[in-house]
């Protein structure tokens, strides 16, 4: 008689995120959660942001994707802090994350 001992299977690591920004083929960034949506896209050299959060609608323009993403992030944090904590921003942050442009003094 022989006894076969095997290591227990490792559980897949669960993501801490429930929602995520998604980049579509046309370059539009979108976040959909519950019955709310936020979009960011480039148009005419500007980054346009729109959001429908409940019954409220928001629209804004920024010069860069970084500024637009930060503004959308602040709005999400202000209106839905519980959603903000479980939202994965990597797809929208990756194009400019770690870009430290310092001017010489």
pLDDT for 56: 95
Consecutive H or E run containing 91: helix 90-93
Sheet strands side by side (includes 46-53): 22-23, 29-33, 36-43, 46-53, 56-62
pLDDT for 94: 83
pLDDT for 14: 80
pLDDT for 10: 81
β partners of residue 94: none
- Residue 10 near residue 4, CB atoms below 8 Å: no
Question: Which residue would you say has higher pLDDT here, 4 or 32?
Answer: 32
Report domain extents, the chain.
19-93
pLDDT tens for each residue of 62-105: 999 999 999 999 999 999 999 999 999 999 888 766 655 656 55
Q: In three state form, how does the secondary structure of 45-86 look?
A: CEEEEEEEECCEEEEEEECCHHHHHHHHHHHHHHHCHHHHCC
pLDDT tens for each residue of 9-57: 887 888 888 999 999 999 999 999 999 999 999 999 999 999 999 999 9
Local structure of 3: helix, strand or coil: coil
């Amino acid at each position: 008689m022989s006894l076969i001992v095997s290591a227990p299977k490792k559980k897949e690591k669960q993501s801490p995120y429930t929602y995520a920004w998604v980049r579509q083929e046309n370059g539009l960034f979108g976040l959909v959660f519950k019955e709310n949506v936020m979009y960011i896209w480039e148009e005419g050299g500007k980054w346009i942001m729109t959001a429908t959060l409940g019954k409220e609608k928001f629209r804004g323009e920024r010069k860069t994707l970084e500024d637009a993403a930060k503004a959308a992030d602040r709005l999400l944090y202000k209106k839905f802090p519980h959603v903000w904590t479980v939202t994965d921003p990597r797809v929208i942050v990756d194009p400019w994350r770690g870009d430290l442009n310092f001017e010489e003094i």
